[in-house]
Structure formats: C-alpha cells, structure tokens
Amino acid sequence: MKKILVFTLVALLSVFLIDHSYSKHNQAVSQQALIEEIKRQNQAVSTIDLRQLLDFKWDDVYVFTPGTKLKTVEETLGFQWFDAKSTRIDQRDDVNLIVFVENHQVAQYVMLPTKYGILKPTAQKGTFTVEAF
C-alpha cells in the first residue's frame, strides 16, 4: 500500500513538473512570436491579430500596462489568478502583461517588454495596434 502511494505521489509530481515546464516553454514561444511580429512590421503604429499569430486556444485577452495593481488584474479578469503575483506587474515599469483566458482561467500569459511598444485593443476581438512606447 505504501509503495502504491509513493508511486502515485511521484507520478503526480512528475506530471505537474512536465506541465509546468511545457507551460513555460509555450510562454516563451508565444512571447518570441509576438516580438518577432512587431519587429517584422517595424512601424510606429501597426496592427497585430493575436488569433492568427498564436497557436493555442483562448477566449479573451487582456493587456495590463506596467505598474498595474494585482487587485486590478484580478478584477479585470473576473477571477482570482494565483500566478498574478509572480509576474510582479505591479512593481515593474518595463513590461506589459498580456493574459490569455479560456473557460475563466488563465491559459497563458506573455510579458512583452515596453521597448516593443504598447498594445491597444481595436474594435475587432484579438486585434491590437502597437504604439511606440
């Protein structure tokens, strides 16, 4: 019985670590894709469609500017996001926090350095203009 419990615990921990690593990898890939698209357009103001650019599912996307309070992030999302604190968006002045939500939970987030601009939503869902910072 004890061996089964230990095995189950090790298996669950392994799945958690693999999932966490996969999520961090996806975050890095998404961040790089967004930065490359902004560089490719290389204009003072450009438009980016995140639905075409990124290859994961999400229902809504939110952009939080540097210094946004964590309470504001959670109020805007409409639910408690435990990893919000780890982004330190409330203490940073060098990144935008882009949060992708699916089924009322964070599917993924990207930290976009402000040197690449500020994303402003357009009338079309998932489409943003990039304004120089």
Per-residue pLDDT of the chain (133 residues; tens, 9 = 90+): 666 654 454 444 444 434 444 455 567 777 777 777 777 766 545 788 888 888 888 899 999 999 999 999 999 999 999 999 999 999 999 999 999 999 999 999 988 888 888 888 888 888 888 777 6
Q: If we measure between CA atoms, which residue out of 44, 59, 111 comes closest to residue 84? A: 111
Distance CA 92, CA 1 (A): 49
C-alpha to C-alpha distance for 31 and 129, rounded to whole angstroms: 16
Distance CA 94, CA 87 (A): 12
Which two structure tokens, joined as six digits, stand for 115? Answer: 């040197």
Q: What is the pTM of this model?
A: 0.73
